[in-house]
Chain A
Amino acid sequence: DVKVTQSSRYLVKRTGEKVFLECVQDMDHENMFWYRQDPGLGLRLIYFSYDVKMKEKGDIPEGYSVSREKKERFSLILESASTNQTSMYLCASSRRTLYGANVLTFGAGSRLTVL
């Protein structure tokens, strides 16, 4: 069974802490994505990566950075967590295609609370 695994299901952090959210996929997918999901706002794309060491900003990159040192792993970093980053974070991956049959496989999500 193919999988996208997010390292933590629930995290509680304090304002100003550095936070790492890890995502690993076992499908040899080229593309990986980080979304956040908030009530009434749907899923919003933070960053995505279409190759190792490559990254592109999504719709809401401010306050976040990412790292993709290996094909299977995509990390989301909050350099200094703030309360407005309390959210559900979702990682996804997909195989590279020439045109948009870009089928995503999502992880179960990481719910982050920043106090």
Chain B
Amino acid sequence: DAKTTQPNSMESNEEEPVHLPCNHSTISGTDYIHWYRQLPSQGPEYVIHGLTSNVNNRMASLAIAEDRKSSTLILHRATLRDAAVYYCILDGSARQLTFGSGTQLTVLP
């Protein structure tokens, strides 16, 4: 299975943009890049996904490198409610997602 690498933790100030990086150098041509986040005491929730082009939705933006070996989740204005563990995952044809340990985002007031 293709793997992803993320920093263990990051900090951001409230109301500032946050860029969460993810490396996936072994990505295959049909793997989608997914991002989920897990708030304390909750199950993970879907944030965004993409294949080749950058994607935007109401929660975040996903910037995908041209060679697709890395991607960045962008939260445009971090709030205290965005403090969570963020998971970057590759989704291929196996119909299952493998979660790593993710990045713990701390948002400072």
Chain B 78-96: CB-based contact to A (< 8 A → 1; otherwise 0): 0000000001001111011
Closest B residue to A106 by beta carbon equals B43
Contacts of B97 in A (CB 8 A): 45, 102, 104
Is A43 touching B99 in the complex (CB atoms < 8 A)? yes
Is A50 touching B99 in the complex (CB atoms < 8 A)? no
Size of the chain A interface, CB-CB below 8 angstroms: 29
Is A42 touching B99 in the complex (CB atoms < 8 A)? yes
**A contact residues vs B (CB 8 Å cutoff):** 4, 31, 33, 35, 40-45, 48, 50, 56, 58-59, 90, 92, 96, 99-109
A-B residue pairs, 5 tightest by C-beta? A106-B43, A100-B91, A43-B99, A100-B32, A42-B101
**Given contact pairs A31-B95, A35-B99, A100-B31, a sample of 8 additional A-B residue pairs in the complex whose CB atoms are under 8 Å apart:** A4-B43, A44-B99, A45-B97, A48-B96, A102-B91, A102-B95, A102-B97, A106-B44
